[in-house]
Each structure stands twice: as structure tokens, then as C-alpha cells.
Chains A and B, each alone.
Chain A
Amino acid sequence: MNPDYDSINKPKMTNDLNSSGSLDAFLKELEAREKDLDMSSEFVVEIEEYNIEEDDDEIAQLEKLLATIEPNKKLEEFTPQVKSNFAPGNPVIPDSRTFSDLEAEIKKLNSEVSKINAERQEMAETMRRRSTDFENFKNRTERERAEIFRSVLSNLAAKVFPVIDNLERALSSANNHTEEKSPDFQQFIDGVGLINHQLSVVLEEMGIQPITAVGKPFNPHFHEAVATVQTNQVPHNTVVAELLRGYKIDDKVIRPSMVKVSANSQPSTSSDVSLEIE
């Protein structure tokens, strides 16, 4: 029972008593009051019971809902908050806001959960992509690492080749010089020739080999044709002259040979050229 009720009503009653003259009237009044009092006390009880039931239902409902949202979350966290409405001394007023507030909160949480879920899924997806990318990157790097020495060497060699070309041009120019050479000059040329030889030995040691071209069937994987020569003396599509020497490292071409290629005046359709693939 609400303890405040009497204390509020009592003085009022006294006041009423004072103002009314007859006992009859007083009794009637008292009866009426009593009725009122009963009614209101019953009413309050009803409300209380009703509220408890209602709220219990609400809690159960909430629990169910929350359980579906986050099954792992302990319910105790929420319960005290709800129960505090029934702490002694608090007026029990049917609070219509509680329900809609909670509903809103559930909605909010729900949307947050689905947002987080979506984010998690996205992260997982990104993770998956990144790890495949990384796996592939790792494998490729592994492959490339084995290649690095070869590719660095190829790059260096490619820059040195023109120097070797020119050295050889110098030598052949000197050797083509038909006039009598002085012994000094001849010795000088021979010396330069030895340097040239030394260079080719160094290349060989590094695994860099000249590509054979002249007399071979033309093969674009190793040779670059810059001209054709009409001739029937060699099979169609045969390298007849090497203008610039090509080089390879293992079977990887660093620089293709620059060549002239034979063209028979009536090329046979079933040419017996055998092509090579690296």
C-alpha cells in the first residue's frame, strides 16, 4: 500500500469533518470516502500487479529479442535497469515510453549489429583478397629472385654490347686495311685483338653466349631480320649474313642477332625451316 496516501488524505478529511455539521452527513461522507479509499486502493493494487505482469512479459520479450540479436550477450546487463522501476518508493506509473524507447534501442542496436556484420564481412573479404594477392606476390617474388642475377647481368651486358661491336668494327677495319702495316701498328692491332678476345671470355664465363646465326634457318625468337636477299643457293629463309651479333644467357635472348635472310625466288610452300622456341 502506498504509505503516502493516508498522510495526504487525512488532513483533508479532518477539514471536511470540521466543516460538516451532522453526523449523518459525516458517516455518509466517511462511507463514500471509504468506498473511494477501497476503490483506489484496489485500483492501485491492480495497477501494480498488472504492471509487474506486463513488465515481466516485456522483459521476456526483450530477452527473446536480444537473444536473437546477440545470443552470447548476458541478459543480466539489461535486467536491473528494467527492474529499477519497481524499487520501493518509486511511484508506479504505467510508463508508456519504456516500451517504445526499448523498441527504438533494439532497432538502433539491430542496425548497428547489421552494420558491424557488413563491415566484418567486408573486412574478411578484403583480408581474403589481400592474402591471395600476397601469396601470389610471394611466389612471384621467389621466381623473380632467381631471375634477378640473370636480369641484372643481361642489363649490364646489353649496355656493353655496343662497345664490343665497335671494338670489333675497329679491328676488322684495321684488318681490312690492305696496305702494308708497320710492325708496330700490326702489334698494336694484335694487342687490341687480344683484349677483344679477353672480353668474350669474360662474357662466356658469365654465361653469356653469342647466338649462332649464319647458315641457320631464320628464327625470330633469336634473330631479327633487317633485310632479305634474293638467292636460290641456300634454302628459303636461311640466315645468310650477320650484321650484328646476338647474345643469349642460357636460352634467354639478351639481344637478337641482326641478320639478312635468304628469299628463294619461288619459295616452296612446304619450307623445311625448323623454328626454335626458347
Chain B
Amino acid sequence: MGKVIGIDLGTTNCCVSVLEGGTIQIIPNKEGGRTTPSVVGFTEKGERLVGQIAKRQAVTNPNNTLFAVKRLIGRKFNSLEADKMRETAPFEIVEAPNGDAHIRVLDRTYSPPEISAIVLQRLKQSAEEFLGTTVTEAIITVPAYFDDFQRQATRDAGKIAGLEVERIINEPTAAALAYGFGKNRSERIVVYDLGGGTFDVTILEINDGVFEVLSTSGNTFLGGEDFDQRIINWVVEKFKLENGIDLKEDRLALQRLKEAAERAKCELSSVTETTINLPFIAADATGPKHINSVLTRAKFEELVKDLVELSVEPCQKALWDAKLQASDIDKVILVGGQTRSPIIAKTVTELFGKEPSSEINPDEVVAMGAGIQGGVLTGDVKDIVLLDVLPLSLGLETRGGLFVKLIGRNSTIPLKNAMTFTTVVDNQQSVEIHILQGERELAAANRSLGKFELVGIPPAARGVPQIEVMFEVDPNGIVNVSARDKMTGLEQAMQITPSSGLAPDEIDRLIMEAETSVEKDKETKQLILARNNLESILTNTRNAMNEFGRGLPPDQQTEINGVLNEAEEFLKSDSLDAIRATIEKVEATANKLTETLMATVA
């Protein structure tokens, strides 16, 4: 088994790690960043851009620049999340034939796993460059609340990107692993994760390698960007009051302010006072205007107080759902860049009565945990066992649309469980077995996995027939459900394979496509490099001509200019061969020019 990389596939940012020489390394991307924005851009030229580069062109290409696709993965078009995305996202979310939420880009639609696959492919490339070898296996993290569809969709994304996803693990579990928790210990851990755009709080219980999610809560639209915005608003209002100029109307000023606000926020994590210094931010008839404002930590905390408050209620809810008191918690872990602000640590300490752990970089801790799990699989890490658990409960719909759980969430798999049901009306001859997944009391509020009917029950008074329903989950998370009439022995069964909404042959096709697009990207890159090459040769030769060309006989001048003008046309060519041929031609001309000039000088 080669290296297994750990990937934190985040809503706003991704991070990759690998265990090397017994320590976890964060793999930097091509641009040198330790995290990569989860952004994919499709240009009209057919180029696919990922990460920071994609972000830079978002303004010019808003309909074809996709971000926060994680919010859509494994979701239906008519789901609440998709609705919310449709309101804010500049790209077009469409309904796939199977009801899934897909995205329309240029002239085709993409499923969310395909988009995630493009990001994953890039991360895979960075890892391969870093490790100097091919990488085919990965651990990917997902939020604790992800259901089977979303997990499977994430798995599919990996597959399309050419990665065998060895395990899907929960983000809070990964964070706990990174802190080395769960080694022969029994602990209850709170993971407080305030990222760029989402807030999650999870309570875990660790027992002999089993990481159980006791409860999870959060706010999907709360994150560090909201904190920056508060500082920006404060400065803008102050400036308006003092100078009567609205900085929000000036793109450059706003951009400068955004960067300054983020920097100020970061500085206030370690010092109690910072200066936002933006000279010449604007000008009016009276002359240039500067910003030179002191922002104290106290003022900043006052500005974001309500945002911090927004995270308190989910924490209390998580405790309540887990039926725990704050005093039952052994450890608190901070995840996500925004948790660096002292006010977060303070609030968390007040909430749980413990100083939170924050020694590990909160932007990287989840990826690190995933990397450690990768090390467990390759045998590099020995003292941790992480058992697979069912993320959500499985059960049936019963009379009145109620949901009856047969297998509780957090059960370690494989396992099976049976329960006996009966009929609701006299002489009922068939029962419908509707299999669902979720934690809600009402069947309709949970996710339907499938349904089948058991027919041919002999007529009897209601409540007499005994129908045994058996749920069996195998090690791969595949659920087998069977229903048997105990009297007649009549049986009916169904297998539920985890599905992301993409059919297996479709996934195979997408894998092929992704591979060819890598090839295509390579070709495009070569074409672009050749064009650049031609352009610089042209420019140099032209410069040389302008400077020294006058020393040449007029007919030679015309000839050279002719070659150059002709070559100019090929800058727009899409043919690599033609461009290369032109480069040779121009080079030959340039050489001739140099020779002639040398001869003139001599």
C-alpha cells in the first residue's frame, strides 16, 4: 500500500496532509498555500481553474465560477440547502432527472461530486508532486451530520478524481485524532468548528477506538467572513461620518479595506490593540484622505458580540441533545481559523467550564487527523483503532407516518437487528416496508432509502400477523432489509447500496472524462506555453528591430517585419504545431538579424 493522504474537503477551503517519517506534513499547493480555496472556474477557453486562481477570475466569470459546492453534494434540488444556495449563488442550480441538485456551467451540467472531483484532482496532483510518487488512496472528512447519500457522493467525487477513498471520517473525529485523543481512553469531547462560512459543534464520546457522535448542531451560515465584515462596516461608517465619503462605492478602497480588516482581526488575536492604516484611501476637493484608526480588542469584541452569541445556542443544543451537562465534558477542541480570536476561547471556556485545546493550527487540524487515519491504514500508526459507525439511525415508517428505529446511530458496523411488526387493519394482505434514515420522529422528515411490499399475508384480524423485519448492515455500509411473515414463512428482501445519485456506469464515464481532461489540460498548458514563448520572442525581436533595424538594408527590414507580422497572427492559433513552426521561423529570422548586425558592427 502506498501513501494514503488525508483530505479536509471544506466548504470554503481544502487542506491535505500525509504521514511522512512518523510525522504529519501539510502538503502545500502549487501556489505555495497550505490550504486551497474550494473554488472551480470554467473559462470560455475550456480551461478549468482551481483554488486561488479560480477565485481571482470570479468577478469576470461569475456564472461559471463555482464555490461552496459542498452545500449541494448529495442534496435534492428541492432541499432546503439547495433553495438557500439558489438565492445567493451567481451560478445556476438545476434539477437533474433523478431530482438531485446539479449545476449548469457553460454548455453542460455537472453533478456536485464532479465539481468536488476537480478540486480533489488538483489536491492529488499537489500531493504527488510533494511525495514524488503517484497517490491513489485517500481519507476524506465530512461533517458529522452528513447522511449516507452525502457520504457516498463524497466517495464518488474521490473516485472520479482517481482516488480510492479508503474511509470517510467525520471532521470532528479527525480533529480529535489529530490531538491524539482516544488512545485507550474513554472521553467526551466537544469540537467547536468555526470555519470560513459554517459553524459546527459536535459532541463525541470515545471508547476503545469507537468515536461516537453523541450530538451535532451548528449554523450553516456563520463564519469568519462575517467577523471581517463587521470591521469593514465599522471603518466605512466612521469614515463616512468624518469625511462624507462612502468607501463602499470604491472597489479598490473596499478591497484594500477588506485585506486590512482581516489583518487587523488576526493581529488582535495576539495583541490588544492594532492600527488600520490606509493612506490615500480616497480624495475629494479638499485633498487626499487617509484612514488611520486604532482598533482595540475590546472594540472588536463589541462589534462581533452578537456573532459569537450565535454560536452559543447550538452548543447548548448539542449538550441538551447528548443529554449531558457541561461538567460531563472532558475536552474541548477548537477548529477553524476564526477560533483564534480570544473571544471565542473565552466564550467556549465559559460554556463548558474548560480551557479549550488549540495548540494545533485550527485550519489544518482536520486534515491532519485524516492523514493520521491514513497512517493507521498503511500501518505507520499502530496505537489507534477507529471503528466504522453508522452515522445516522436506520428504521421503518409505521402507522401514522411515524419513524421506528431498528438500528441506532453510532452503532459499529457490521451488525444486524430484527423487530416484529403487525398489521393495522383486519384482513390486511400486504405491508409496505419503507426504509428510512435519520433521527427525526416523523418519517417524512427523514431520508427515504427505498421501499418494498410484502404481499400475500393470509387474512387475519389486525394485530395478529407477525412480520419480522430484519436490518443487516455489512462492513461496507450496504444495508440488507428483509421482511418475513412468521406464519407462512413468506419473505421479501431488498438491498440498499449507498448511492450518491450517480449510477456506477455514470461514475465510470466520469472517471474516464476526468482522466482525459487532465490530458487536455496538459495540452492546453503546452499550447499556452508555446504561445507565451512566441510572444516573448516576437517582442524581443521587435525591440531589437526598433533599436538596431535602421542599420539594415531596407529590403531586409521589410522582410523581417513581414515575418514578424505574419508570426503575430499565429499568437491566436490553436494549433500547437503551427505555433512551434512559427517560433522556429522567428528564431531563424532573429538569428539572421543578429548576424547581420554583428557583421555591421565588425
Contact = CB atoms under 8 A, between A and B. Distances in A.
A220 B56 CA distance: 6
B422 to A, nearest CB: 55
B441 to A, nearest CB: 49
A137 B20 contact: yes
B552 interface: no
Interface stretch (B47-55, B152-160, B449-457): B47-55
Contacts of A223: 56
Contact of B255 (A133, A221, A226): A226
A261 B59 contact: yes
A225 B60 contact: yes
A130 B59 CA distance: 46
A272 B574 CA distance: 10
Interface range for B: 35 or more
B400 interface: no
A256 B56 contact: yes
B56 A224 contact: yes
Interface in A206-238: 218, 220-221, 223-228, 237
Contacts of B525: 277
A181 interface: no
Interface range for A: 35 or more
Contact of A226 (B22, B252, B572): B252
B529 interface: yes
Contacts of A196: none
Interface string A250-278: 00010010101101000101011111110
A198 interface: no
Contacts of B43: 275
Give the dominant DSSP class at A's interface: mixed
B572 A272 contact: yes
A136 B56 contact: no
A133 B56 CA distance: 35
B251 A243 contact: yes
Interface stretch (A54-62, A84-92, A166-174): A166-174
A220 B57 contact: yes
Given A129-B380, A225-B57, A261-B59, A136 B532 contact: no
A274 to B, nearest CB: 5
Contact of B532 (A125, A134, A276): A276
A225 B65 CA distance: 13
A187 interface: no
B379 interface: yes
A271 B56 contact: no
B310 to A, nearest CB: 29
B568 to A, nearest CB: 12
Nearest to B263: A162
Contacts of A137: 20-21
B44 A140 contact: no
B57 A166 contact: no
A173 B53 contact: no
12 contacts: A140-B132, A169-B279, A169-B280, A169-B288, A220-B53, A225-B57, A227-B59, A258-B255, A267-B44, A271-B45, A276-B531, A276-B532
Interface of A: 125, 129-130, 133-134, 136-137, 139-140, 151, 166, 169-170, 173, 176-177, 218, 220-221, 223-228, 237, 243-244, 253, 256, 258, 260-261, 263, 267, 269, 271-277
